[in-house]
Amino acid sequence: MNSPNNGMINCPTVLTGISHEMRTSMNAIVAFSFLMKDSSCNDSDREEFSCQILNACDQLISLFDSFLDSAIIDTGNTKADSKICKLDSFLDDLLSEFREELNKEGHKDIELVTEIQYSKSTEVIIDKNKIYRVIRSLFQNSIKNTNSGYVKIGYFLRDDKINFYVLDSGQGYFKCKDFFQTEDLSESLLLHNDTYTAINVALAKKLIQMLGGTIYVECNGLTGTGIYFSIPVKVVASSSININKYVNTMIAI
């Protein structure tokens, strides 16, 4: 039987938290929809209300996606699906998605910084979709807990492992640390009352465990969060590389 920390469906506190988050988002959607119909509402107000409605919808979809993905893993019906990927462009699609997210209202004071160390001809065999899911969950937690500043994402290949990190300058370190280290998710949820972050953390841990990797959290600055994880990979033999020679890049957007 799954422990409360591993079995989302078997954790009443998680289900109660999801119910609360759902009702909060739905109330916001209804309220802003009602305001948009008011005759005194101008175009600028309608645009703002529309953004608020879309943000509430995105929050709901993200919450349910993470919850359902975690529940599916608990059933044991999910397996790694590794494919050949080029290391130099591994995160390109995901970073484009994040840039669009930060351009939305409410996230414009957050800067995305990327640090990538790679050899252009390197190809590895890895489950790209599950890695994307982990980084997306960690990124969502970062922007939820960061009002202004930065989110930094990077990765490098060393000793047949890809090492990733997601850092932010926000206020969520102590909460994230507790969710990562707790043996009783219900107790941590009662303390921090943040179902969204808890589910994302639980999902990330389960996916990394499935892929045979490791993960840990450190404080970044005073209250920012630094999450580091590594995944074992197989380097494609035909890649003409020297994996000890990296091209270092830093991009701020």
**Residue 178 is part of a domain; what is its CATH number?**
3.30.565.10
Give the DSSP per-residue string, 161-209: EEEEEEEESSS-HHHHHHHHH-S-HHHHHHHH--HHHHHHHHHHHHHHH
Query: Is residue 118 domain-resident?
Result: yes
Please state, in angstroms and rounded to a whole number, the distance separating the CA atoms of residues 205 and 36.
Answer: 41
| Chain segment 8-59, per-residue pLDDT in tens | 656 777 777 778 788 888 888 888 888 888 888 888 888 888 888 887 888 8
- Pairing mode of beta strands 234-235, 149-158: unpaired
Residues in the chain: 253
Query: Is residue 186 domain-resident?
Result: yes
Average pLDDT value over all residues in the chain: 83
Q: Are residues 38 and 154 in the same domain?
A: no
Query: Is residue 4 domain-resident?
Result: no
Lowest mean pLDDT among 3-7, 21-25, 55-59, 140-144: 3-7
DSSP assigned state of 87: G
**Domain, as residue range, for 93:** 83-252
Cβ contacts of residue 22 below 8 Å, gap of 6+?
Answer: 60, 63
| pLDDT band, very low/low/confident/very high, at 6 (cuts 50, 70, 90) | very low
- Nearest CA to 6 among 57, 76, 61? 76
**Residue 40 is part of a domain; what is its CATH number?**
1.10.287
How many C-beta atoms surround the C-beta of residue 125 within 10 A? Answer: 13
| Chain segment 188-247, per-residue pLDDT in tens | 888 888 888 988 999 999 999 999 999 999 999 999 999 999 999 988 876 544 444 444
Please state, in angstroms and rounded to a whole number, the distance separating the CA atoms of residues 40 and 215.
Answer: 52
- Type of residue numbered 120: K
Query: Is residue 7 domain-resident?
Result: no
- Type of residue numbered 246: Y
| Chain segment 178-196, per-residue pLDDT in tens | 999 887 877 888 888 888 8
Kindly list the strands in the beta sheet with 234-235, ordered across the sheet, starting from the edge strand earlier in the chain. 83-86, 123-126, 234-235
Q: Are residues 128 and 216 in the same domain?
A: yes
Q: Are residues 34 and 108 in the same domain?
A: no
Q: What total of structural domains would you count in the chain?
A: 2
Q: Are residues 245 and 159 in the same domain?
A: yes
Q: What are the phi and psi torsion angles at 114 (to 5°)?
A: -120, 140
The overall pTM is greater than 0.75: yes
- Type of residue numbered 119: S
Q: Are residues 160 and 221 in the same domain?
A: yes
